[in-house]
């Protein structure tokens, strides 16, 4: 059916002077049914497993992908992911260029915090949870733009980022690749990354962004990746959907449904989610790509399809435009069209969206990588500098008892801990990098200590290998030092067989894994001050550590320059300024814990032998100076439809220059439905010299005061509201008429 179409002598769709829309129409008219369905198919470009010997690696790759080569030459593939490098990506494009219609491939990768999955060396930024601690959308836009440059230089065109999941259970192993628990913050940072990846006007330096995972992947049962999410419609629309809506407003190009089901409906088969809400209400015009094997899971796991073929029908009818990954999908879709179960028009709709993206990116004119451009772009000094800047702003000082930090550069320091001298700073979604490209925490401490002879390192093995002897050795060395730095936490590096967190590795506990707490207890028993540096992608919640460590620095997974940033902060060359983008509960038993809870959450119930307050609240983060919130001011009465103008007077009352992240919350004091105790509505970073005061002006649009009524329709109600700056540092009230 439809195989009779033939290419004209001089195809107009190859004319770059025509609009992308017109070129898409012209190309669609030339395509057979097979070629159209082929554009909906994404395959994996796995590295060759053939022993190299004296054979060139690219030759091995060609041998490994021999079965897919003919599919590409026949025009039956639209995209690849997991391609192991620039040369391999160029080879795939050469195959596509030999096809009848010469349609380029979209080469995709999980560039979550840099291009670290599929190239040998690239700029690796902090994990997203660390970037979120900067509360700096403009900074994240620069990160995404930098990553886009490195992707395009190496022949990649599509980043499976940003992750727009709102975290409600930090046991979830993917917490580190999110922006935390607040929908306003997640939306603001996610939209900035969309703009950074795609640019204001797509070009050959842009890549497609992919918002994922729609929806509620961050609230799975028991914190297990892909587990069901049972949530009210109100909770979905108030907390989990807003970041996706904001990304769509930023012209998001592609979107990925979630692994999980929500209220009994798998997201990959939810036409109300992918069509009615996403396209009809929000106006999304891009294309939807499935997540890994999730079309097939409609049959094999969720059991809402009677066969893999039926699963393909349900997914495509629900709104999935491209299938990730593997065979079978093509055959199922073709049979469904030929049987009349799936309209040809739906196929052309999906393919038109995919082709339009390829034309807008300029792939027909520039599809392959340029070795000279790779050399000029990847790991450029400006990119390394940006990685350091982001790392500095991602660090959160959780505790600093008695001004333990910053450290004296004359102090004798003993360093230990499983994360001190390895590449755990890189985090998940990143391969191990060349050692010269990564600054470990130990290297950063030695670099900034002023006298490296004063720094002694005592290895203790990996998280899974800390022995009695290692604990004794560290304790003995601590006796000869003035203080101890223990670099503890998690390890989510994919190439580490003993990794403790990351995708598909969720946590049953929020404590330090392995025997790390025993190591810390032995070090404290020496009587020497203990400074803890945490390297982790999700909260480590240890009340013992908080009570006994002299200082705790949350480094998250700070990226390739993370060690330098940590060294600078520990010795006072930089002033920490990050704030927590999610709540640290006291234990697993305190879940679920988040700042924007309802008023009745803690009004009567108490935990036996434990406080109900957070170990560290959302927005917490100390500084080496002190900031004073002197006043919050706004008009006393506000008319409907008016923007609310708010002034926050802030002063640096300490002795050092520093940056403060000013958080502005709203509290609805009385409403027809229960409202959260407070909601983040604006934030801004400000730098102040000692003794300097500044008044910051915020302007909240009218919709910032609205909430969803019983019918889930945005509404404004008259009444009294409270504005809160900082974590209850200063406030004022106003009346909405």
- State the Cα–Cα distance between residues 438 and 388, nearest whole angstrom: 11
CA distances from 168 to 172, 240, 441, 585 (A): 9, 10, 30, 11
Which tokens go with 549?
A: 């460590």
Backbone φ, ψ for residue 380 (5° rounding) = -60, 145
- State the Cα–Cα distance between residues 660 and 650, nearest whole angstrom: 9
Task: List, in sequence order, the alpha helices (H) in 480-615.
Answer: 516-525, 543-548, 562-570
- State the Cα–Cα distance between residues 535 and 27, nearest whole angstrom: 50
Write b or e for each residue in 552-590: b if 16 or more Cβ atoms lie within 10 A of its Cβ, otherwise e.
bbbbbbbbbbbbbbbbbbbbbebbbbbbbbbbbbbbbeb
Which tokens go with 288?
A: 């939807």
- State the Cα–Cα distance between residues 262 and 491, nearest whole angstrom: 30
Backbone φ, ψ for residue 312 (5° rounding) = -60, -40
- State the Cα–Cα distance between residues 449 and 408, nearest whole angstrom: 8
Handedness of CA 433, 437, 440, 442 (dihedral sign): positive
Residues with Cβ within 8 Å of 306's Cβ and at least 6 positions away in sequence, in order, are 299
Specify the DSSP element, H or E, that contains 628: strand 627-634
Cα distance between the two ends of the chain: 64
Task: List, in sequence order, the alpha helices (H) in 462-537.
Answer: 468-479, 516-525
Catalytic site includes residue 291: yes
Write b or e for each residue in 427-442: b if 16 or more Cβ atoms lie within 10 A of its Cβ, otherwise e.
bbbbbebeeebbbbbb
* Cα–Cα nearest to 133, from 389, 396, 385: 396
- State the Cα–Cα distance between residues 519 and 531, nearest whole angstrom: 13
Task: Give the up-direction half-sphere exposure of residue 590: CA atoms within 13 A in the CB hemisphere.
Answer: 28
- Tally of residues, the chain: 737
Name residue, tokens 């936490």.
Answer: 489
* Cα–Cα nearest to 501, from 486, 517, 513: 513
Q: Under a CB-based contact definition with an 8 Å cutoff, are residues 634 and 646 in contact?
A: yes
Specify the DSSP element, H or E, that contains 92: helix 86-97
Question: If you ran DSSP here, which 8-state letter would residue 275 be given?
Answer: I
Backbone φ, ψ for residue 430 (5° rounding) = -160, 130
Question: If you ran DSSP here, which 8-state letter would residue 67 be given?
Answer: H
Q: Under a CB-based contact definition with an 8 Å cutoff, are residues 377 and 41 in contact?
A: no
User: For the purposes of burial, counting CB atoms within 10 Å of the CB of 674, is it exposed (0-12), middle (13-18) or buried (19 or more)?
Assistant: exposed
- State the Cα–Cα distance between residues 128 and 558, nearest whole angstrom: 9
State the catalytic residue, choosing from 110, 136, 169, 291.
291
Which tokens go with 461?
A: 């093995």
**Catalytically annotated residues:** 291
């Amino acid at each position: 059916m439809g195989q009779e179409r033939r290419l004209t002598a001089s195809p107009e769709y190859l004319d770059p002077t025509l609009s992308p829309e017109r070129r898409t129409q012209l190309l669609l008219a030339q395509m057979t049914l097979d070629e159209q369905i082929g554009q909906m198919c994404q395959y994996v470009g796995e590295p060759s497993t053939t022993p190299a010997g004296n054979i060139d690696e690219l030759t091995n790759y060609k041998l490994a992908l021999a079965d897919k080569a003919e599919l590409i030459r026949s025009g039956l593939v639209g995209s690849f992911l997991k391609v192991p490098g620039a040369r391999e990506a160029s080879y795939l494009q050469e195959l596509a260029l030999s096809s009848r219609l010469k349609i380029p491939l979209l080469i995709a990768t999980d560039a979550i915090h840099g291009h670290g999955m599929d190239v040998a060396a690239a700029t690796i930024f902090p994990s997203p949870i660390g970037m979120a601690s900067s509360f700096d959308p403009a900074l994240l836009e620069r990160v995404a733009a930098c990553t886009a440059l490195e992707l395009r230089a190496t022949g990649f065109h599509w980043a499976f980022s940003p992750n727009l999941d709102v975290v409600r259970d930090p046991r979830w192993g993917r917490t580190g690749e999110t922006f935390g628990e607040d929908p306003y913050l997640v939306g603001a940072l996610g939209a900035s990354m969309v703009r950074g990846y795609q640019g204001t006007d797509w070009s050959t330096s842009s890549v497609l962004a992919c918002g994922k995972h729609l929806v509620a992947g961050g609230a799975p049962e028991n914190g297990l990746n892909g587990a069901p999410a049972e949530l009210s419609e109100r909770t979905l629309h108030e907390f989990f959907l807003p970041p996706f809506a904001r990304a769509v407003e930023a012209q998001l190009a592609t979107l990925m449904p979630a692994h999980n089901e929500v209220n009994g409906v798998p997201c990959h088969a939810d036409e109300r989610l992918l069509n009615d809400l996403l396209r009809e209400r929000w106006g999304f015009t891009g294309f939807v790509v499935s997540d890994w094997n999730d079309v097939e899971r409609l049959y094999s796991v969720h059991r809402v399809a009677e066969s893999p073929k039926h699963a393909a029908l349900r997914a495509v009818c629900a709104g999935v435009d491209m299938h990730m990954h593997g065979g079978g999908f093509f055959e199922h879709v073709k049979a469904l069209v030929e049987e009349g179960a799936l309209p040809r028009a739906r196929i052309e709709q999906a393919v038109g969206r995919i082709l339009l993206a390829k034309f807008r990116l300029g792939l027909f004119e520039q599809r392959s990588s340029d070795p000279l451009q790779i050399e000029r772009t990847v790991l450029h000094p400006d990119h390394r500098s940006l990685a350091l800047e982001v790392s500095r702003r991602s660090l959160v000082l959780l505790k600093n008892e008695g001004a333990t930090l910053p450290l004296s550069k004359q102090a004798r320091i003993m360093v230990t801990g499983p994360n001190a001298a390895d590449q755990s700073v890189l985090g998940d979604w990143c391969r191990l990098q060349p050692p010269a490209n990564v600054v470990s925490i130990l290297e950063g401490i030695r670099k900034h200590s002023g006298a490296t002879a004063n720094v002694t390192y005592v290895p203790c093995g990996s998280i899974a290998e800390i022995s009695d002897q290692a604990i004794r050795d560290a304790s003995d060395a601590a006796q000869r030092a003035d203080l101890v730095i223990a670099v503890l936490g998690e390890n989510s590096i994919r190439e580490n067989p003993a990794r403790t967190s990351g995708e598909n590795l969720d946590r049953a506990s929020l404590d330090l894994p392995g025997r790390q707490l025993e190591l810390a207890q032995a070090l404290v028993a020496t009587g020497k001050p203990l400074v803890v540096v945490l390297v982790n992608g999700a909260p480590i919640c240890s009340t013992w550590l908080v009570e006994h460590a002299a200082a705790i620095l949350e480094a998250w997974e700070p990226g390739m320059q993370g060690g330098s940033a940590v060294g600078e902060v520990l010795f006072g060359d930089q002033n920490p300024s990050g704030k927590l983008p999610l709540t640290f509960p006291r234990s697993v038993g305190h879940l679920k814990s988040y700042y924007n809870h309802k008023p009745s959450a803690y009004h009567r119930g108490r935990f036996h032998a434990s406080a109900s307050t957070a170990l560290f609240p959302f927005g917490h983060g100390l500084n080496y100076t002190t900031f004073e919130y002197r006043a919050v001011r706004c008009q006393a009465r506000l008319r409907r439809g008016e923007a609310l103008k708010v002034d926050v007077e802030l002063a640096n009352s300490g002795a050092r220059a520093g940056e403060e992240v000013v958080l502005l919350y709203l509290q609805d004091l009385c409403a027809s439905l229960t409202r959260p105790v407070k909601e983040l509505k604006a934030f801004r970073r400000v730098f102040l010299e000692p003794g300097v005061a500044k008044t910051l002006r915020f302007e909240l649009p009218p919709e910032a005061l609205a909430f969803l009524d019983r019918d889930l329709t945005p509404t404004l109600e008259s009444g009294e509201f409270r504005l809160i700056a900082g974590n209850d540092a200063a406030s004022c009230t106003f009346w909405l008429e």
